[in-house]
């Protein structure tokens, strides 16, 4: 069975082929040093964590930073295309070869690298499977951001139809409001924004903390427990 990268080849951006070609311009030592970072970055949830790991990769591996970043991102894309239910190292390598991504002048070196890369990716199959089944029905949470706003409070809010010339508002204070944006995957409505007062935020946090405790209890109640 063909991999997703093979079936989606026609939709890949033009620069992808150039980035993949750049990968083979790195030294064998640099390419192999990228593999642990691909594995680690694939597991993190927050963009900031990914950025920190990418910066560390550039610092640790050395060489031309833009080249290292581009090579790392193309490997991360390949990792994201891996299907733990059907893909094998041999099948993925064959598809990359058939698509012309493996340079003819150093096939053996490239195959050695791909075996090491896919071997590392396969170690994460269980987590990928768990995520696949966990996300199989409804859109899933992908991130959150928040902002604190202060709203001015007026003694007499303006009412439509009132005499505007005689309206003299007086600010009597400010009230804090928390603005929250939740992000999710899916085809539409990828963000959901709402505002709440500090007490509402405390209530939300309490419910989530309670959910964590319930999750722990549920895991312990399963036969043999679950991680």
pTM for the model: 0.60
Average pLDDT score, the chain: 85
Q: Which residues pair with 192 in a beta bridge?
A: 182
Write phi, then psi, for 211 (nearest 5 degrees). -60, -35
DSSP state of 87: -
Q: Could you tell me which residues come within 8 angstroms of residue 33 by beta carbon, excluding any fewer than 6 positions away?
A: 57, 60, 61
pLDDT digit string (tens) for 12-43?
Answer: 777 777 888 888 889 989 999 999 999 889 88
How many CB atoms lie under 10 A from the CB of residue 202? 11
- pLDDT of 97 above 90: no
91 against 58, higher pLDDT:
58
């Amino acid at each position: 069975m063909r991999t997703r990268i093979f079936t989606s080849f026609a939709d890949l951006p033009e620069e992808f082929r150039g980035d993949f070609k750049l990968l083979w311009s790195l030294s064998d030592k640099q390419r192999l040093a990228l593999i642990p970072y691909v594995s680690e970055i694939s597991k993190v949830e927050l963009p900031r964590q990914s950025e920190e790991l990418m910066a560390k990769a550039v610092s640790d591996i050395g060489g031309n930073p833009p080249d290292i970043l581009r090579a790392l991102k193309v490997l991360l894309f390949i990792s994201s295309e891996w299907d733990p239910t059907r893909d094998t190292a041999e099948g993925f390598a064959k598809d990359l070869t058939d698509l012309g991504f493996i340079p003819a002048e150093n096939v053996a070196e490239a195959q050695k690298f791909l075996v090491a890369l896919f071997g590392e990716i396969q170690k994460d199959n269980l987590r990928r499977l768990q995520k696949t089944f966990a996300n199989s029905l409804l859109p899933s949470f992908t991130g959150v951001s928040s902002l604190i706003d202060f709203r001015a409070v007026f003694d007499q809010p303006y009412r439509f139809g009132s005499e505007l010339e005689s309206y003299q508002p007086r600010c009597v204070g400010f009230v804090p409001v928390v603005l929250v944006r939740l992000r999710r995957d899916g085809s539409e409505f990828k963000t959901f924004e709402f505002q709440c007062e500090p007490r509402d935020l405390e209530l939300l946090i309490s419910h989530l903390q309670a959910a964590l405790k319930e999750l722990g209890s549920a895991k312990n109640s399963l036969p043999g427990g679950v991680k």
